């Protein structure tokens, strides 16, 4: 079970509370997680990745296991502790703006 | 008429302000979408329960919201604003070519006939239509692919399509305006476009007679005089009486003919309102006095309207989409400021009262008359 933490604004948009839980076949990659999120919550399409290019939006960051995975290739397998549900995959808005 | 509903978009959410037809007591509801920029929130003319909102943020991009119950509840609609076909280039600030890049929706204009049809104006400038209540969007490409497109440059606020006027008489006619490309007219429902900028004078561009490149801030039309348009340009207040074939300056005695919004009285086609702003860079009212100016002669002769508005130490701005008129018998006017005040007049502008004083900076104001 993959655990995902969304930023508060996206929780509101998706009308969810707490962590998301996803069942995914291995290899579990960042894009596989985002594909699953967008399939379940289509209102989040375009809010994490650009709708046309598929690239991470500039002020979105991906953290897990105290590591910044934001700039890893999107098909990189996620850490084992995330895949096994011991640690969440964290999506957050970077500190920016006012 | 049972009342009015004012739709306010701000830098940190949307608000609805409702009152009965007397417009004396107001109920404030919001923020909706707290923390998000609401560039525009606008209701259907044929179904006032149908409201569309453009919700965006630098973090999460563009979202479109739709309400089917007058703003009580909201549903996320579609946000796939793809440019169709070859994207192409426009000019960047430094004069180099730059590919069109979608940033946000500035303006939503519901159809005059069908609550499920709505038009959207984007930054970078493009014109979209949805026929399914905002679920899917199609770019009407002829505007962005106009032969002058490669020469368009953004204004300081971005290359935004900020004004959409659907002609109430000629259903195939649409007027739009882009900063800083200028005004355009379509006579075939958006399939082709004609620049309508003759007579505009813009000292900011080398050739003042240029077909495009004019920084149009806002255009307003009275529904009974569809060929007469009033324009607040970067500098100058203009009018045309032939659907944009030729513009004439009507700034007259205004203390500054720079400003952003412009509006026409609901029942008097020659009564026009502007809010002069000091510029080029200050962007606050001259002398710190917040004054709406009214012309009852279609321009040139303007009178200041000050009763109820701050006449000292006022340094707010009023954005281009932040003034609206209602259609009640005694025409009401509304405008919102960058300081978060929303003022209204229930007597055609003679006197003003704040509905709210402390909202986030106001980006847009629209008003609905409720049946």
* B206: closest CA of chain A, how far (Å): 35
First to last CA, chain A: 36
> B76, A60: Cβ pair inside 8 Å?
no
Question: Tell me: the pLDDT tens digits for B320-363?
Answer: 999 999 999 999 999 999 999 999 999 999 999 999 999 999 99
The reported pLDDT for the residue numbered A60 is 96
Instruction: Give tens-digit pLDDT for B134-143.
Output: 999 999 999 9
Hey, are the CB atoms on B80 and A45 less than 8 Å from each other? yes
**Which whole-number Å values give the CA distances from B174 to B40, B128, B143, B322, in the listed order?**
19, 13, 11, 21
B262 pLDDT higher than 70: yes
Q: Quick check: B280 pLDDT over 90?
A: no
Task: Give the Å distances, CA to CA, from B145 to B83, B87, B117, B279.
Answer: 10, 9, 23, 32
Give the tens place of pLDDT for each residue, A31-46. 999 999 999 999 999 9
CATH of the domain at B343: 2.130.10.10
What residues of A are in contact with residue B60 (Cβ under 8 Å)? 9-10, 13, 47-48, 57, 60, 93
Query: Chain A partners of B58 at a C-beta cutoff of 8 Å?
Result: 59, 96-97
pLDDT value of residue A97? 57
Measured between beta carbons, the chain B residues lying within 8 angstroms of A10 are 60
- Which residue among A51, A52, A93 sits closest to B59, beta carbon to beta carbon? A93
Identify which of B35, B36, B79 has the shortest CB distance to residue A46: B79
Nearest residue in chain B measured CA to CA from A41: B76
Biggest CA–CA distance in chain B, Å, is 54
Residue B189 region by backbone torsions, left for phi larger than 0, else alpha for psi between -120 and 50, else beta: left
Contact B59 A97 (CB under 8 A): yes
Cis-peptide, bond into residue B124, ω within 30° of zero? yes
| DSSP bridge partners of B367 | B6
- The rounded distance, in Å, linking the Cα atoms of B276 and B270 is 18
Substitution target in A38, A45, A55, A94 with the highest count of B β-carbons within 10 Å is A45
Task: Residue B102: list chain A partners with CB under 8 A.
Answer: 52
- Chain A residues with beta carbon closer than 8 angstroms to that of B79: 45-46, 51
Chain B residue closest in CA terms to A8: B35
DSSP string over B262-301: EEE-SS-TT-EEE---BTTTT-B-GGG---EEEESSSSS-
Q: Which domains are seen in chain A, by residue range?
A: 2-93 (3.10.20.30)
- ipTM beyond 0.85? yes
Hey, what are B96's tokens? 């180099």
A59 vs B35, B59, B79: nearest CB:
B59
If one counts the domains in chain B, the total is 1
**Chain B residues within 8 Å of chain A (Cβ atoms):** 35-36, 57-63, 76, 79-82, 102
pLDDT at A98 over 60: no
Burial pattern B283-309, b for ≥16 Cβ within 10 A else e, equals bbbbeebbbbbbbeebbeebebbeeeb
CB atoms within 10 A of CB B34: 13
Distance CA A31, CA A49 (A): 10
CB contact under 8 A, A96 and B59: yes
Q: What is the pTM of this model?
A: 0.97
- Per-residue model confidence (pLDDT) at position B164: 98
How far off is chain A from B13, nearest CA to CA, in Å?
12
Domain housing B141: 3-370
| Residue carrying structure tokens 């259903």 | B171
């Amino acid at each position: 079970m993959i655990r995902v933490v969304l930023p508060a604004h996206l929780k509101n948009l998706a009308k969810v509370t707490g962590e998301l839980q996803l069942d995914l076949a291995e290899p579990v990659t960042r894009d596989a997680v985002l594909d699953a999120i967008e399939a379940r919550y289509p209102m989040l399409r375009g809010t994490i990745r650009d709708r046309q290019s598929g690239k991470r939006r500039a002020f979105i960051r991906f953290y897990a296991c105290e590591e910044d995975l934001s700039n890893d290739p999107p098909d990189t397998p996620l850490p084992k502790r995330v895949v096994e549900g011991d640690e969440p995959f964290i999506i957050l808005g970077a500190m920016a703006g006012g | 008429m049972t009342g009015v509903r004012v739709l306010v978009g701000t830098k940190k959410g949307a608000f609805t302000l409702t009152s009965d037809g007397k417009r004396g007591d107001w109920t404030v509801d919001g923020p909706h979408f707290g923390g998000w920029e609401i560039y525009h929130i606008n209701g259907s003319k044929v179904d006032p329960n149908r409201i569309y909102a453009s919700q965006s943020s630098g973090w999460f991009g563009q979202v479109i919201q739709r309400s089917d119950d007058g703003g009580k509840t909201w549903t996320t609609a579609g946000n796939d604003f793809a440019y169709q076909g070859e994207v192409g280039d426009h000019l960047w600030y430094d004069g180099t070519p730059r590919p069109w890049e979608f940033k946000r929706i500035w303006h939503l204009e519901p159809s005059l006939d069908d609550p499920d049809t709505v038009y959207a104006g984007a930054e970078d400038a493009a014109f979209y239509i949805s026929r399914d209540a905002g679920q899917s969007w199609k770019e009407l490409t002829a505007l962005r692919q106009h032969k002058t497109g490669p020469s368009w440059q953004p204004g300081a606020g971005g290359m935004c399509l900020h004004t959409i006027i659907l002609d109430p008489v000629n259903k195939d006619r649409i007027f739009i305006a882009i900063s800083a490309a200028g005004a355009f007219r379509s006579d075939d429902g958006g399939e082709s476009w004609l620049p309508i900028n003759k007579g505009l004078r813009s000292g900011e561009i080398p050739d003042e007679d240029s077909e495009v490149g004019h920084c149009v801030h806002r255009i307003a039309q009275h529904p009974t005089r569809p060929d007469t348009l009033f324009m607040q340009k970067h500098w100058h207040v203009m009018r045309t009486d032939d659907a944009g074939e030729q513009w004439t300056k009507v700034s007259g005695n205004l203390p500054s003919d720079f400003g952003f919004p412009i509006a026409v009285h609901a029942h008097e086609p020659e009564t026009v309102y502007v809010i002069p702003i000091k510029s080029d860079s200050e962007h606050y009212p001259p002398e710190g006095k917040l004054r709406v100016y009214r012309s009852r002669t279609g321009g040139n002769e303007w009178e200041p309207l000050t009763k109820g508005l701050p006449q000292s130490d006022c340094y707010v701005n009023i954005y281009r989409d932040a003034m609206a008129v209602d259609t009640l018998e005694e025409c009401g006017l509304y405008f919102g400021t960058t300081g978060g005040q929303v003022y209204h007049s229930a007597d055609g502008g003679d006197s003003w009262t704040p509905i709210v004083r402390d909202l986030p900076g106001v980006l847009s104001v629209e008003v609905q008359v409720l049946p």
